[in-house]
Amino acid sequence: MCGRFVSSSPPDEIAAYFSADEYPEQVIEPSWNVAPTDDVYVVLDNGGVRRVARRRWGLVPFWAKDLKVGNRMINARAESLSGSNAFKRAFAKRRCLVPADGFYEWQRVPGRKAKQPYYVHRSDDEPYAFAGLWEVWRPKDADGNDLEGEEPVRSATIITTEANEEMARIHDRMPVILPPSAWDAWLDPDNDDLETLGQLLVPAPPSVTVLRPVSTDVSNVRNQGSQLLDEVPGPPQDLFERA
C-alpha cells in the first residue's frame, strides 16, 4: 500500500515537469509527511487541457453517505478496479497522476516492536507519477439527498500493485509508478480501452525504487520537515536471515 508520501514541490514546478498548462493559485504547504485526508496535487486532463489541481487524499465515491468513507480509500488495488463499486466509474473516466517526491513504507523487524520506516525514491530524485483516480462527491442530508448550496468534495486515490523485487524486501505492495510514455494515454478521459490501460498498472523497475532507512519520527503524522528524509542505520540483515 501507500499510506504516506512526500510532496514538497510548488504547483508551478509540478506543472512544468508534467507539461501542464494550468495550476492552482492557492498553494498547498510543502509536506514531508503527507497523510490520508490531506489535500494533495494531482495532474489531470480537463477538456483537453492538462492541469494541476487539488484533491483530498482518500477517494469518496459519489454514492457515499458521508465523507468518512474516503478515509479507508486512500489506495485502490490495480487488480480489482473494474469490479469495484468504489473505483470502476473513476477508472473509466477520471484518471489522474499523483506527483510525489518519494514515499514511505514500513518493515517488520524480528525482535523489535517498532517497524523500520524506509523512504523510497528515485536515484536521480526526479518526481514519481503515481497512477491515480479522482471523484466528485456532494454532501448529503440524512435521507441521502444532495444538499443545496454545499461545495462538492473532490478527492483522489493512489493505485497500488504487487511489489517489484526491491520493494518486496520490505512490503508486498507498492504504488503504480507510470513512466512519461504512459501519461497521455492514462490521462485521456476519452480513452475507454480499459483493458489496455490496465496493462499499464504493473510494478515499476527496481532501478527506480531506492530504499533509504529513516527515523521512526515519520511514523507520527504530526512530524514534518526535510530531516525526516535523513538516512539512519538500517536493521542488521542477519535479523531477517534468522527469522
Strand extents, DSSP E, the chain: 5-7, 31-34, 39-46, 49-57, 75-77, 95-100, 102-107, 116-121, 128-137, 153-162, 173-175, 210-213
Would you say residue 59 has pLDDT above 90? yes
105 is a catalytic site residue: yes
For the chain, percent of residues with pLDDT exceeding 90: 84
The mean of the pLDDT values for the chain is 93
CATH H-level, domain 5-242: superfamily: SOS response associated peptidase-like (3.90.1680.10)
| Domain-wise residue ranges, the chain | 5-242
2 is a catalytic site residue: yes
| Residue-level pLDDT at 150 | 79
Q: Give DSSP secondary structure letters for 193-237.
A: -HHHHHTT-SPPPGGG-EEEEB-GGGGSTT--SGGGG-B-PPPPH
Would you say residue 100 has pLDDT above 60? yes
Distance CA 165, CA 204 (A): 10
C-alpha cell of residue 98: 499523483
Q: Which range has the worst mean pLDDT, 40-44, 140-144, 209-213? A: 140-144
Would you say residue 51 has pLDDT above 80? yes
Q: One of 96, 105, 135, 166 is an active-site residue; which one?
A: 105
The DSSP output letter for 168 is G
pLDDT bin (cut points 50, 70, 90) of residue 139 is: confident
pLDDT bin (cut points 50, 70, 90) of residue 243 is: very low
pLDDT bin (cut points 50, 70, 90) of residue 189 is: very high
Would you say residue 242 has pLDDT above 50? no
Please give the average per-residue pLDDT across 193-217, as a whole number.
97
Would you say residue 239 has pLDDT above 60? no
Helix (H) or strand (E) holding 182: helix 180-187
Q: One of 2, 96, 135, 166 is an active-site residue; which one?
A: 2
Distance CA 18, CA 33 (A): 22
pLDDT bin (cut points 50, 70, 90) of residue 147 is: low
* Distinct helix (H) and strand (E) counts, the chain: 5, 12
Would you say residue 240 has pLDDT above 70? no
The DSSP output letter for 177 is B
Please give the average per-residue pLDDT across 203-217, as a whole number.
97
| Residue-level pLDDT at 236 | 75
| Residue-level pLDDT at 7 | 98
| Residue-level pLDDT at 143 | 67
* Prediction pTM value: 0.94
Spatial neighbors of 181 by CB under 8 A, at least 6 apart, are none
Closest CA to 31 of 57, 5, 53, 56: 5
